[in-house]
Structure 1
């Protein structure tokens, strides 16, 4: 890839990181569609996992006061188990069909919680485990599970710092697992390694800028932003998959 395209890729990556931090569920839901413009599908899976290591470390550090250990375990453990399953199965499925299903799912649930804005699901064990399993499986299979985890955590109406920090910690567990799987699948190649230093810088800078923005918005507004972003992600995923 030429220098000009590489610059555009890094600029779009920074934008994805800022928006992902503001939305509370990470950058992969934006990063994956951007990266698909520049790389093939399997390379996108590999570079997403590598970038997210930096992105999530930054969020865990910047929002560390909001970490919820109980939710990390209840959502994180099934996420890790199912991201490994999804990662192995990623070699065998048509990603276009999966993106259509994901798009419809995100559009339906985000509209439900936007229309029924008083609807809150208590973060009980069954709900957290199911949300974690679905987000992990999606992350392994098509490269992004943040939107599903975002829907889950938005439904719980978590305070914004808890939302961002806990989501990042869970994402970190997922990324460590799928990076190993993707490396074994041959998705992380030498061609993308030179991007790694830039991606680590972008991960921190984007998370820091997103945190500054979040400091100036209310809890209710934060939840609506997260749901609107998830709705837009669903529409974009659906449109891109049928285009």
Structure 2
């Protein structure tokens, strides 16, 4: 099925990378439900992890104006630990059930922040550890934890370049960990590996465009659009599998 619709898949992947860069949540929140239309859920988890490795290296190169080293430790280490836990247990869960859970998760998360516009996370070590743990667990089980991490990191009020670079470093560690576990789980299939060079180019191109857009608009302006888009993807993910 994917080979027939490959051009559509590539265009949607570029769009997810652009939106992930500008929105600060990372591309997986868009890429996972999009890829799930073309591949089985376990294959999506494996491909997403490999895609993100190159995507995050690109982000670090493009947004290298400083890193929050304290946040990398307090949020990043729990995320890396719990993504391995989530990735391991994902093999015991029904892929269709995970698809539903992903859809409802995206719907609930987007509605929460659209309705409660002033909702914020406290900027302290405890919040960073909890946010890192939850984002890692979500990334391991569902393939995406960037929304939780992005919401947690937003409390620390960094500039956009520092925010994206710090998030990318944490995500790189998360992706390295879950790639190993997904490989051991058998989620990375030889017949899907032709997508990797394509997605590397997508990651570079999408991040470059996202950076250009980010230079022209504020994070707050785009935040509402991003949340509505996440809501839409969540609804489609649930409806398409009914």
Offset, 1:222: 4.1
Per-residue CA deviations over 1:115-138 (Å, capped at 9, x if unaligned) read: 444443332011111111111001
Tell me by how many angstroms 1:9 deviates. Answer: 1.8
C-alpha contact (below 8 Å) 2:41/2:99 kept by paired residues: no
Which residue of structure 2 lines up, in the alignment, with residue 53 of structure 1? 53
Partner Cα distance (2:239, 2:129) in 1: 30
Q: CA deviation at 1:71?
A: 1.2
The Cα shift of 1:103 comes to 4.6
Q: Tell me what 2:218 maps to.
A: 218
For residues 1-243 of structure 1, the aligned pairs below 5 Å read 1=1, 3-101=3-101, 103-240=103-240, 243=242
Contact persistence 1:88–1:181 (CA under 8 A) = yes
Q: Deviations over 1:38-80 (max 9, x none)?
A: 1111111111111011111111111111421111111110000
CA pair 154-141 structure 1, distance change in 2 beyond 3 A: same
Q: Where is the helix percentage greater, Structure 1 or Structure 2?
A: 1
Structure 2 unpaired stretches of 5+: none
CA RMSD between the two structures:
2.3
* Residue pair 2:2, 2:38 contacting (<8 A) in 1 also: no
Q: CA deviation at 1:100?
A: 4.6
How many pairs are equivalent? 242
Describe the SS at the equivalent of 2:221: helix
Q: Given the superposition, is the C-alpha separation of residues 108 and 91 from structure 1 closer, same or farther in structure 2, using an over 3 Å criterion?
A: closer
* TM-superposed deviation, 1:230: 4.2
Q: Is the 8 A contact 1:29 1:145 kept in 2?
A: yes
8 Å CA contact 2:22–2:219 kept in 1: the answer is no
- 1:37 alignment partner, SS class: coil
* TM-score normalized with structure 1 length: 0.88
User: Distance in 1 between the 2:237 and 2:143 partners?
Assistant: 12
Return the offset for 1:224. 3.6
- Tell me how far 1:142 sits from its aligned partner: 1.4
Structure 1, unaligned runs of 5 or more: none
Give the TM-score of the pair, scaled to structure 2: 0.89
Tell me the secondary structure at the aligned position of residue 162 of structure 2.
Answer: helix
**Separation in 1, partners of 2:228, 2:66:** 23
Contact 2:67 2:162 in 1 (8 A): yes
Deviation at 1:194, TM superposition (A): 1.3
